[in-house]
Structure 1
């Protein structure tokens, strides 16, 4: 049975279980429960020294009492995929405890004919899913034997493919025992990212970046996948989890089409930047946390 190692433990976050637990606990306690119980969250996937505190605001909205299955949609940074890929691992290691993959759901998704499989090397080289595992383990620690995970690596998708995956996953999103985690950082700004959009009317570069990000965040809150696609085309904002976000928006729209009594409310709770860019030689990555509830 393949086991995915915690490859980034000891570098992107501590490999000490007790230290990691204390760190995550602190960040969770710094956040307020103001938009829950979350049925989906958007949270960053950088090193914890940069985004750990921001991520806590999303995970604080999770109600572990009801969650029994957790879908993690992360963008592929190293391997080009035209679709979505499922994990061949059966367990994911964390410094806290091992998380078990839901083989039944993997089988159901494979039967749709729309998913491929990622090998263990691809899985371990990718950080977008791994960086959420310690937070999942911490939030669910009192129910550690009562839940499973469904890691999904998301490739570069057309809007039509996002809609396809949204339709497939909408029934799972509609189940209150399922939680969806959308892994995404926001603007990657600077020459090293080949993105230097700057609207001087907003002041300093970092202020222009925040305005650009918040425009995208507002569109995401409106839950309109077409508007989000158009925003990305217009500004080219380097939101690395744009396709997982697109799938979530499509899944929400599918649910709302099929149940007119259902209301969805997505709200961003925290925004941060790794540093404040003031000249064209600077660089930064933005982070944002959001929670989706059904009313």
Structure 2
């Protein structure tokens, strides 16, 4: 059996079940939601270390976990490997400290055959943008299958066509992974990130080009284009920066989570 090994456990998130569960319990004790006016179909989630963006990501997964899905498709940018197009993981299982997740290999192969920008490059899956989502998926969607797509140089309209197909199947839940601006002062970071947040809320693709900086901008724009086409609502759940943890206001990274649905 071929395994997509966990490569950033113990660094971006704990490498044991007890510690991850402790994080999630702490996150869930820190918020209450009275009324959710969106039926979740997708989320945008950050991918930094859990001490920085774990609360923000957890919120989106928690609020989406009441819905019934059969598979979760995680789409994130490649940070270490340059690739044309995107790579879809053709493994049997996905390793996490909470237990392994079954990969829907048959569905992955179908997508690979249909979209010419999808290939399988093993090195592309040594990737934290997608892996940091996996423990949340195992915790909140235990028993569901997972699909991992790591993209490099690809046009957001191409990626949006794939997302459109994924959204046609109500068994699918889509996770778009991104962090926001990197290594600006706190004041500058908030200005740049506010452009991104406004573009997401207004579903304004042109606004993204007015200064939004995000490592997963391609995925975010693709998701917003699909939201426009499929008449989905967007709701920003949480925004924070690394300053909240480090108190360093000179080299700040921004994070957000967004709920997308009907």
Same fold (TM over 0.5): yes
Matches within 5 A, 1:245-284: 245-255=220-230, 263-275=231-243, 278=249, 282-284=250-252
| Contact map agreement 2:189 2:252 (CA 8 A) in 1 | no
Select the residue among 55, 58, 67 that pairs with 1:56: 58
| Contact map agreement 1:3 1:90 (CA 8 A) in 2 | yes
CA distance in 2, matches of 1:17, 1:113: 36
Matches within 5 A, 1:1-295: 1-33=1-33, 34-124=36-126, 126-140=127-141, 144-145=142-143, 147-157=144-154, 161-190=155-184, 205-228=185-208, 230-231=209-210, 235=211, 237-255=212-230, 263-275=231-243, 278=249, 282-294=250-262
Question: Greater shift after overlay, 163-172 or 212-221?
Answer: 163-172
**Which structure is larger by alpha-carbon Rg, 1 or 2?**
1
**Structure 1 regions of 5+ residues with no counterpart?**
191-204, 256-262
| Contact map agreement 1:44 1:184 (CA 8 A) in 2 | yes
Secondary structure at 1:213 match in 2: helix
CA distance in 2, matches of 1:122, 1:206: 32
Displacement of 1:41 after TM fit? 0.7
Q: Indicate how the Cα distance of structure 1 residues 41 and 113 shifts in structure 2: closer, same or farther if over 3 A, else same.
A: closer
Secondary structure at 2:139 match in 1: helix
Alignment TM-score, normalising by the size of structure 2: 0.90
Secondary structure at 2:51 match in 1: helix
Displacement of 1:268 after TM fit? 0.7
What value does the CA root-mean-square deviation take over the aligned residues? Answer: 1.9
Q: Indicate how the Cα distance of structure 1 residues 82 and 121 shifts in structure 2: closer, same or farther if over 3 A, else same.
A: closer
**Structure 2 regions of 5+ residues with no counterpart?**
none
Secondary structure at 1:128 match in 2: helix
Q: Indicate how the Cα distance of structure 1 residues 149 and 238 shifts in structure 2: closer, same or farther if over 3 A, else same.
A: same
CA distance in 1, matches of 2:173, 2:11: 28
Displacement of 1:156 after TM fit? 2.7
Displacement of 1:35 after TM fit? 5.0
Q: Deviations over 1:157-203 (max 9, x none)?
A: 3xxx321221232132133321111100001024xxxxxxxxxxxxx
Displacement of 1:63 after TM fit? 2.9
| Contact map agreement 1:167 1:250 (CA 8 A) in 2 | no
Matched length? 257
**Residue 202 (structure 1) aligns with:** none
CA distance in 1, matches of 2:124, 2:83: 11
CA distance in 1, matches of 2:228, 2:27: 32
CA distance in 1, matches of 2:213, 2:191: 14
Displacement of 1:65 after TM fit? 4.4
